Structure 1
Amino acid sequence: MSRHRVLLVRPWDTARAGSGCCTGATEICAEGWHEDPAVARRRAGQRPLGEVYLAVRAGLPPEVEVEIVDPHNTLFLLPAMLRDGRRHRRPWRALLRDLARAPGYAAIIVNGRVLSDAGLPAPEQALRLIRQALDAPPREAGLG
């Protein structure tokens, strides 16, 4: 396992149910095969995260693990953060606070520490935040 891990939490989708004949499930569409407009908007909305991922992956050493995580996948996200945080000797109180913030909107998490959870920063800014967290002394960032 990598010494450092970056988790990019995908922005929350808009409503999961569509409307019309198939409510977004094109396999059972009564009007013929078509793309639900909500799905098309969601796909276009995922492009900025892809740009952040590519910038982060290209700007970090290959030994730093970078993963995109669905915010609904708390069965992976929370235990992964807990393991990463304890491996990097994060204080329990800070770690528990960050566990609550983990599924935040487009969260960026480095070694169990939430850096951003209120919106997706620009690719360059995300890379800068992550590099600062990886370079910070353990006392300041809770990293080891």
Structure 2
Amino acid sequence: MGRHRVLLIRPWRAARAGSGCCAGATGIGGEGWHEDPAFARQRTELRPLSEVYLTLRAGLPPDVAVEIVDPHNTLFLVSAIVRDGHRHRRPWWVLLRDLARAPGYAAIIVDGRVVGDAGLPAPEQALRLIREELAAPRAVPRPAAGT
């Protein structure tokens, strides 16, 4: 199996906030601010997402890609979930369920599987959820024939 990918879905209200590099998250770029200073409130709303991102980058192996995604970027989400789910041999019925949950508020998606969509967890809790998902067995039961 190849590389793992974690997608962090930005909170909806913050999804339109001057989304330059790093999808508008604050405090993770090395070159200073790349957005209009008028977006101070939105930057404040994105700070928790930035903290989760930095915690994940520091706490996950380097072969795990961590990406921040705008919830309105449906084409990317659909293709990423299908591609990642197929690469990790997940059945189509499970992929369809997770496709419906993918744009959930501050969802966390690991290898095409939604592991959190009820709001952005604390950084250490997000790291724990992702580590548990990466360590979980890959076998997924298939539905019975004729259902």
TM-score, normalised on structure 1? 0.78
Determine if the alignment matches structure 1 residue 80 to structure 2 residue 80.
yes
Cα separation, 1, equivalents of 2:45 and 2:130: 22
Structure 2 unaligned spans of 5+: 17-35, 142-147
What's the RMSD between the two structures over aligned residues?
2.5
Cα separation, 2, equivalents of 1:133 and 1:89: 15
Residue 131 of structure 1 corresponds to 131
Residue 71 of structure 1 corresponds to 71
Cα separation, 2, equivalents of 1:69 and 1:140: 26
- Counterpart amino acid of residue 84 in structure 1: D
* Equivalent position SS for 2:6: strand
What pairs up with 1:32-47 in 2 under 5 angstroms?
Answer: 39-47=39-47
Residue 61 of structure 2 corresponds to 61
Cα separation, 2, equivalents of 1:87 and 1:14: 31
Residue 43 (structure 1) shift: 1.4
Residue 35 (structure 1) shift: 6.2
> Percent identity, aligned pairs only?
72
Structure 1 unaligned spans of 5+: 17-33
Residue 100 of structure 2 corresponds to 100
> Per the alignment, do residues 50 and 15 of structure 1 end up closer, same or farther by CA in structure 2, a change over 3 Å counting?
closer
After the TM superposition, list the runs of 4 or more consecutive aligned residues in structure 1 that deviate by more than 4 angstroms.
none
How many equivalent residue pairs?
A: 124
Larger deviation: 117-126 or 131-140? 131-140
Residue 109 of structure 1 corresponds to 109
Cα separation, 2, equivalents of 1:60 and 1:14: 25
Residue 24 of structure 2 corresponds to none
> Per the alignment, do residues 118 and 35 of structure 1 end up closer, same or farther by CA in structure 2, a change over 3 Å counting?
same
Residue 41 (structure 1) shift: 2.0
